[in-house]
Structure 1
């Protein structure tokens, strides 16, 4: 059917009551079936956020790369990819420090270091040290029939000691390796992973030091030192041995020395607290003295 009108006047509902005359041809129905935007499958569906990804739970790799690379180290968003790690990965990285047969950085980390484990593990160690030493001291005081007062200054000491060793010292070690020894194959997160995950063995050793057996405590501390320092030397020696500056091997002496001082402080401040069973003297209870007949002179 033909259109009998040549133009249509459209009135605006605003206060000025303006009108506009448009050709009638523009009001005819048009066919958009051939336009690519008319296909519903070609348009993104806002109700399905997984469109464009294999899984809705998969992280946006492009966003993570942009945050890690372009924001810089002084941006909080730059560190978010380092905390995007699964629990099973953290547990495996902790366990692999117990038998360092492979290169930890190349094989275990595989170019994907994280900062969740190196922060979570020292934090756990801090509370385990305070809990184990307090429980051991309370147990020994109870066996000696004495009262026990919790020393919360040891908690502050553990916070400063462990965080400085696990976070600040690796940064200084990386700077020495990079600018003094000329090592370019390691990054700060990788060195922090070595020191952070390397403290794994001290967690069970702290718990095993609760019973007041001095010899057992000494053996456990010696075992923890041997495993942890062996892990550090196993992963740092090949890099320092291949460094342009041959004097970079001297850094291994610093690694062993600082680790020995760290272990000694832990041992004398936490692991050896509580005395031993041999010092316990069990006094007879007052009920045992009732009804006893004194021997004749």
Structure 2
């Protein structure tokens, strides 16, 4: 039976007292035969003070006596650190917002789209960005490949994404430019080579339902004021055909007339795209939306006046917007084209008045 090498005959220590720890004597458990090197010495207060460029404090015995066995506790004083510590006021607020106090501001987190952010994301593809005027990815990181819409087939919706690259502010600004600033004639330059079909589509769609509703409202007013006295056999009915008629009138005018004009301009070799022609004709219809509501008033002179004003202003907007490319391409030969454009637009105004608001004038008392 082997003996326990860690066994001892000394009594166990009393609870609360520190018992001396001693390893086995001899062999590999014995004391080291060589002293520690200087570089193997433990990390002392001298090392810590030297790292902070401070003098080593004097450590004396308790009570200053030389024969004291235990040194007294002495507080060490170090130099002030050079690291910038943010103040308490700079720790609040938004992420990356510089401090407004007098302390040194903390470097803010770069905002998305800033120069620092672009440099940080220069090697990554980055998030999706809206399409630019040429159909490519605009607003992406520098050096990102531009998407060419012409590589898609004509039936692929990705080919036409650039024609809907507008927001609400863009559409409203173009509407105001077409209605209030129709006499300037710089609409194609104002769109900056980025014609859209989003605004023309909603302008024509809004005009379809507004004219159909206003025309039926005017019809009801006319029936109420001119029905025979005491007649109960005949009633008023909503004319749903006006919705279909307005659909063919306005979509046909923008789509078909714009397409014919585009082919004529191609024959003259004018540098105008089909999207630009549709954009001009679509926004020109915006002038007819408010006058359709005014035409509900049962006074023929007012109806003719507002329809004529809307036809004149919208026709002027179309002629002035397309005058420069037509004149550069056709020159003196463009006179028949101008006459045809004026005649077709005047026909639109007459069709609007005679189809939707052709009712008897109600005499005012």
Verify same fold: TM over 0.5.
yes
Are 2:137 and 2:147, in contact at CA under 8 Å, matched by a contact in 1? yes
2:162 and 2:212 mapped to 1: Cα distance? 31
Q: 1:54 to 1:263 in 2, by over 3 A?
A: farther
TM-score of the superposed pair, with normalisation by structure 2: 0.57
2:252 and 2:332 mapped to 1: Cα distance? 28
2:217 and 2:309 mapped to 1: Cα distance? 22
1:59 aligns with 2:160: no
1:89 aligns with 2:174: no
1:238 and 1:231 mapped to 2: Cα distance? 13
1:70 aligns with 2:151: yes
2:185 and 2:323 mapped to 1: Cα distance? 11
Q: 1:60 to 1:89 in 2, by over 3 A?
A: closer
Unaligned residue ranges in structure 2 (runs of 5+): 1-120, 139-145, 228-233
Q: 2:336 aligns with which of 250, 256, 262?
A: 250
Q: 1:108 to 1:54 in 2, by over 3 A?
A: farther
| Corresponding residue SS for 2:329 | coil
Equivalent residue, structure 1, for 2:207: 125
Q: 2:354 aligns with which of 249, 268, 272?
A: 268
| Corresponding residue SS for 1:202 | helix
Are 1:241 and 1:249, in contact at CA under 8 Å, matched by a contact in 2? no
Count how many residue pairs are aligned between Structure 1 and Structure 2.
228
Summarize deviations over 1:225-267 as a string: whole Å, max 9, x none: 1101111111222222221564233211111011111111111
Are 1:240 and 1:249, in contact at CA under 8 Å, matched by a contact in 2? no
1:166 and 1:190 mapped to 2: Cα distance? 12
Summarize deviations over 1:156-214 as a string: whole Å, max 9, x none: 111111111012211110110111x2212x11111101100001110001000001011
Are 2:258 and 2:281, in contact at CA under 8 Å, matched by a contact in 1? yes
Shift of 1:54: 11
Q: 1:176 aligns with which of 242, 249, 264?
A: 264
Equivalent residue, structure 2, for 1:206: 292
Shift of 1:106: 3.6
Q: 2:280 aligns with which of 180, 183, 194?
A: 194
1:150 aligns with 2:262: no
Unaligned residue ranges in structure 1 (runs of 5+): 1-50, 281-297
Q: 1:92 to 1:136 in 2, by over 3 A?
A: same
2:346 and 2:196 mapped to 1: Cα distance? 26
Summarize deviations over 1:21-40 as a string: whole Å, max 9, x none: xxxxxxxxxxxxxxxxxxxx
Greater mean deviation of Cα atoms: 167-176 or 62-71: 62-71
| Corresponding residue SS for 2:155 | coil
| Corresponding residue SS for 1:150 | coil
Shift of 1:67: 5.3
Higher helix share: 1
1:147 and 1:266 mapped to 2: Cα distance? 25
RMSD (CA atoms): 2.6
1:3-18, aligned counterparts within 5 Å?
Answer: none
Q: 1:182 to 1:143 in 2, by over 3 A?
A: same
1:156 and 1:235 mapped to 2: Cα distance? 30
2:312 and 2:125 mapped to 1: Cα distance? 46
Q: 1:80 aligns with which of 148, 155, 161?
A: 161
**Structure possessing the higher radius of gyration over alpha carbons:** 2
Are 1:202 and 1:224, in contact at CA under 8 Å, matched by a contact in 2? yes
